[in-house]
Structure 1
Amino acid sequence: MKQILLLLLLTLSALAFAQDDYYMKKAESYQREAEYYQKKAEGYRREAAYYLKKAEGYQREAAYYSKRGDLDRSRTYMRYAEDAMDRYKTQLKYASDADDRAAMYLRWASDALRR
């Protein structure tokens, strides 16, 4: 009878350890996913900064050509600046979405560790 109880106890403890190990691995996986999306968000923010600089440059060019009286070229550069600003806003939206996804994975990792 002692042997059966001991065997049952060992089996239950091994099962509990296996469950803990499963949730630990899940949490680590979620954490890796969160890190991936955080890096993606950083990349999107770098891209956004690039497009913002481009827009500023295009606006300077538009002002330059406007002063010189070349209105067609000035309008063209203003259109370029508007396009760059649209890309800037898009990249910021992508960064925000990636940040949200990273936060979601971190919440899931936290939940997995609580189990």
Structure 2
Amino acid sequence: MSEPLPDEIDDDLWDEAHRRAEVIREFLKRNPGQSTAANVADLSAELDLSQASAYRLLKLFRESGTVMSLVDRKPGRRTGHRALDTEREKIISSAIKTYYLKPTRPSVAQLVRGHCQVV
């Protein structure tokens, strides 16, 4: 996932990122060397996150040192982003309209076989 743009961050997310940054800064002051599992367990409790998330945020903050790196991101693709190119989207859309949007729908396997014969 990529970092959100500043204008995409609402105030609550920004405030939480600042809180996390302060907690992590204090953690790094108390634990300047290598972090232990017990230390990270304490950090995760303080952040109210899983240990895996605490490790992830700690790594992100160590790499960038910015509050922006700690802003929660929505999972998945950004709105409007397509995984397939336009031509493939057209082929899939055409197959759905031609073969699948009928009162008696074929199975997915029949849809694939039927469309593959056309293309």
Give the TM-score normalised by structure 1. 0.28
Give the TM-score normalised by structure 2. 0.27
Structure with greater helix percent: 1
Structure with the larger RCO, 1 or 2 (CA within 8 Å, 6+ apart): 1
